[in-house]
Amino acid sequence: MPTPAADLAGEPFTLGVASGEPLADSVVLWTRLAPDPADPTGGMPDELFDVAYDVARDEDFTTVIASGLAIADSDYAHSVHVEPGDLEPATTYFYRFRIGEHVSQTGRTRTLPAEGTDPFRFALTTCQDPQFGEYAAWADIAADDELDAVIFTGDYIYELPPLDFSPQGDGRRMWTTPPPADLAGFRARYAQVKRDPSLQAAHAALPFLTMWDDHEITDNYWADGPGQFDSAGGDFAARRAAAYQAWWEHQPARAPAPTAGTHTLHRSVRVGDLAEFFLIDTRQFADEPPCRDTSAFDFGAGCDERDDPDRTLLGDDQAAWLTAGLRTSNARWTSLVSPSMFAGLDARDPGGVEPKYYLEAWDGYPAERARVADALADAPNPIVLSGDYHASFVLDVGPGFGRDVICPEVMATAISSSPFATDYTAANPHVQYFNPDNGYTRCTVTADRWQADYRSVGDIWNPADPLETVASFEFPAR
Ligand code: FE
Ligand code: CA
């Protein structure tokens, strides 16, 4: 029996509302009841609650097209995930949640088109460590009325210890909890991040397609173990299971919740006849990065082990799904959304002679990358989107691993995480653009061209910083 709402300890919608996983006829709506978000329980009793939701065509809710009740369960941190169906394609909707006298802020979302090649505009985003900056990029995205969606490629939280210094002096955005080792620890990190008003505004304005990378669990982890720098230690499988569950509890993700420490998150999303996006998971099923006995932080000179043809970043099932999907895609554009750089980067010391690579990303798995590249080359108008690096790039995919140019790669910089400023362009002629500023990439996709506008933050400590477009690239369709 759900508990009467009168038992709530205060305003429950402190973490905002969100929508995600849009299709042509449905979208997932999310909130979480947390009157005391800093508490591991969210300030909620260990009971079930009924939460009402409304979906309308107008912001004033005069034309409600769906209403219902959803259960908020303490087993899932009193998060709510509802997926109203029978929506119209390419249509804007408004939604809200209600419990007792409490009404959430109003969210806006949009379904995808069912057909046609109308323009599609989205923000490509990644990496939002709050310790290194304010979220002006999210405020900029929230205010952009032309956008249709957000694609987030990972590092929504970081599991790292709080910094032992405050980059801007007053400590106001430091992690307040130690590296998460269990469900309560991961929930605390999400609750801290999701208090940010600009992030809440972006979620309330646009549907998100979200993929995780490593820091939602632990730095540079692979299927069965952590990276070489592991903050929390302890039983890895149990920690991974807790991390996956906390991720799901705090995202507008489709049910079911992760079970038994696994969660299938790779998927393809079709935007009418214009584009098909393949979102891939490069951590959950990955082999251990190569040469850990001779590298630190999974970075170093090349090693024979990385050339083993059987090594996998995707796992065999996901790799088979991806290559078959790329080969049979028949939208105008085919986009591989990779949490980390696909084109590869020789990160040798500037002026140095010995090539060096990030071995936990695609450069540590060249044989599988070649198989994915073959499939990409067979797809209509391929383009790779990526994040993770904490710098903006445009790259040619192919020459970085000994091939002709296959397609462009558009890599978004970090929303706020500390930029990696070393410029490796001299040793990497396939790098067309590099910029270590924070920000995001705004993409405009039409039948004829894919435009990528690089939006940069000026002052990362000003939450109202006006972003500027500092570079634009156009990739014509063939
Ligand atoms: Fe990151
Ligand atoms: Ca990452």
Query: For residue 76, how far is its CA from the centre of ligand 1 (angstroms)?
Result: 26
Query: For residue 289, how far is its CA from the centre of ligand 2 (angstroms)?
Result: 14
Domain at 59, CATH number: 2.60.40.380
Query: For residue 127, how far is its CA from the centre of ligand 1 (angstroms)?
Result: 4
Please tell me the distance from the alpha carbon of residue 285 to that of residue 325, in angstroms, as a whole number.
18
Nearest ligand to the CA atom of 341: 2
Query: For residue 387, how far is its CA from the centre of ligand 2 (angstroms)?
Result: 8
- Please check whether residues 71 and 158 belong to one and the same domain: no
Lowest average pLDDT, out of 156-165, 295-304, 308-317, 357-366, goes to: 295-304
- Please check whether residues 125 and 88 belong to one and the same domain: no
The answer to whether 70 and 81 have CB atoms below 8 angstroms apart is: yes
Is 302 a residue whose pLDDT tops 80? no
Query: For residue 282, how far is its CA from the centre of ligand 2 (angstroms)?
Result: 10
- Please check whether residues 48 and 129 belong to one and the same domain: no
- Please check whether residues 26 and 159 belong to one and the same domain: no
What is the per-residue pLDDT for 62? 97
Nearest ligand to the CA atom of 215: 2
Nearest ligand to the CA atom of 339: 2
Query: For residue 163, how far is its CA from the centre of ligand 1 (angstroms)?
Result: 15
Query: For residue 153, how far is its CA from the centre of ligand 2 (angstroms)?
Result: 9
- Please check whether residues 408 and 263 belong to one and the same domain: yes
Per-residue pLDDT tens digits for 389-412? 999 999 999 999 999 999 999 999
- Please check whether residues 53 and 12 belong to one and the same domain: yes
Share of the chain above pLDDT 90, in %: 92
- Please check whether residues 104 and 148 belong to one and the same domain: no
Residue at which a domain ends, from 88, 111, 134: 111
Residue at which a domain ends, from 95, 111, 127: 111
Nearest ligand to the CA atom of 338: 2
Written in H, E and C, the secondary structure of 156-223 is CCCCCCCCCCCCCCCCCCCCCCCCCCCHHHHHHHHHHHCCCHHHHHHHHHCEEEECCCCCCCCCCCEC
Is 1 a residue whose pLDDT tops 70? no
Mean pLDDT value across residues 271-297: 96
Residue 148: both structure tokens together? 């249709």
What is the per-residue pLDDT for 75? 97
Query: For residue 38, how far is its CA from the centre of ligand 2 (angstroms)?
Result: 25
- Please check whether residues 448 and 358 belong to one and the same domain: yes
Query: For residue 66, how far is its CA from the centre of ligand 2 (angstroms)?
Result: 38
Nearest ligand to the CA atom of 386: 2
- Please check whether residues 106 and 137 belong to one and the same domain: no
Please tell me the distance from the alpha carbon of residue 284 to that of residue 265, in angstroms, as a whole number.
9
Q: Which domain holds residue 255?
A: 115-476
What is the per-residue pLDDT for 61? 98
Per-residue pLDDT tens digits for 110-130? 999 999 999 999 999 999 999
Domains contained in the chain, number: 2
Residue at which a domain ends, from 111, 144, 167: 111
Query: For residue 340, how far is its CA from the centre of ligand 2 (angstroms)?
Result: 7
Q: β-strands 407-411, 392-397: how paired?
A: antiparallel
Query: For residue 227, how far is its CA from the centre of ligand 2 (angstroms)?
Result: 12
pLDDT, mean over the chain = 96
Nearest ligand to the CA atom of 416: 1
Domain at 245, CATH number: 3.60.21.70
Query: For residue 361, how far is its CA from the centre of ligand 2 (angstroms)?
Result: 9
Q: Which of the four pLDDT bands, split at 50, 70 and 90, describes residue 165?
A: confident
DSSP assignment of 324-367 equals: HHHHH--SSEEEEEESS-SS----PPTT-SS-EEETTSGGG-HH
- Please check whether residues 248 and 391 belong to one and the same domain: yes
Please tell me the distance from the alpha carbon of residue 194 to that of residue 203, in angstroms, as a whole number.
10
Query: For residue 298, how far is its CA from the centre of ligand 1 (angstroms)?
Result: 15
- Please check whether residues 21 and 79 belong to one and the same domain: yes
Whole-structure pTM value = 0.98
Is 227 a residue whose pLDDT tops 90? yes
Q: Which residues, chain by chain, have CB under 5 Å from ion ligand 1?
A: 127, 155, 417
Residue 336's DSSP bridge partners are 278, 384
Query: For residue 284, how far is its CA from the centre of ligand 1 (angstroms)?
Result: 17
What is the per-residue pLDDT for 4? 64
Query: For residue 143, how far is its CA from the centre of ligand 1 (angstroms)?
Result: 24
More reliable by pLDDT, 449 or 4: 449
More reliable by pLDDT, 293 or 184: 184
Please tell me the distance from the alpha carbon of residue 451 to that of residue 356, in angstroms, as a whole number.
31
Q: Which of the four pLDDT bands, split at 50, 70 and 90, describes residue 170?
A: confident
- Please check whether residues 103 and 248 belong to one and the same domain: no
